[in-house]
Structure 1
């Protein structure tokens, strides 16, 4: 059921928002807005992705586990993919994931959620030695 809501509900919300914005700004400006946010988002995601990759490489070179940096890199990737998806809601979420203070909080919340699942026994993991 939640996946159905995700794949049906989000596109319907996106469509409604695009129609609403199209009525306000006009079709050309709305299409231009979607294209510009996609291009700016892709450039921003690429830049931040390279920064995250550099941090991961530095951590590995120093012998430090890059867990948090990998998590943030994944959120940057998700943010970039959301920005390439046409729509206003996905663009807002995508841009939010590319803003470092928001992404850091999102990563901490995601990490806490995963750790809680592990503590409760909902997820099994094997420790690498």
Structure 2
């Protein structure tokens, strides 16, 4: 929880700086078009891969397996999709890292560690 406030301050500052830099280097219109295009591509990739994850989870459940890895992939896809639909170059980069299967595989141990810490420190609540 102590990381949330700095993230909400630092990330927007970095995004604004990157917007200004991109506007100077590429121009206003290409920068805006890139942001719109990245949001559209992010929504498409998230939907496509999300539907595949749902089918995989249903298949695993029908065979009596627990779809833990598939659910973790779904969490990563959700986070990546949210990042891609948020305007900004930094968030787009983070979102792509969570959507690309190869890099998602590298990031999953970090996500597992974070979830375990949330449960361990009782910062994760069920209602």
* The two structures share one fold, judged by TM-score above 0.5: yes
**2 CA distance for matches of 1:52 and 1:16?**
36
| Deviations 1:89-126 (CA, angstroms, capped at 9, x unpaired) | 000000111100111121133224544776xx54599x
- Identify which range, 101-110 or 63-72, moves more after superposition: 101-110
TM-score (norm: length of structure 1): 0.86
Alignment of 1:67-78 (within 5 A): 67-78=68-79
TM-score (norm: length of structure 2): 0.88
Which one has a bigger Cα radius of gyration?
Answer: 1
**1 CA distance for matches of 2:62 and 2:121?**
34
How many residues are matched?
Answer: 123
| Deviations 1:39-91 (CA, angstroms, capped at 9, x unpaired) | 01110111111111111111111110011110110110110111110000000
Q: Which runs of 5+ in 1 are unaligned?
A: none
**2 CA distance for matches of 1:2 and 1:108?**
19
Q: Does 1:27 align with 2:44?
A: no
Residue number in structure 1 paired with 2:51: 50
**2 CA distance for matches of 1:98 and 1:16?**
25
Coordinate RMSD, CA, aligned = 2.0
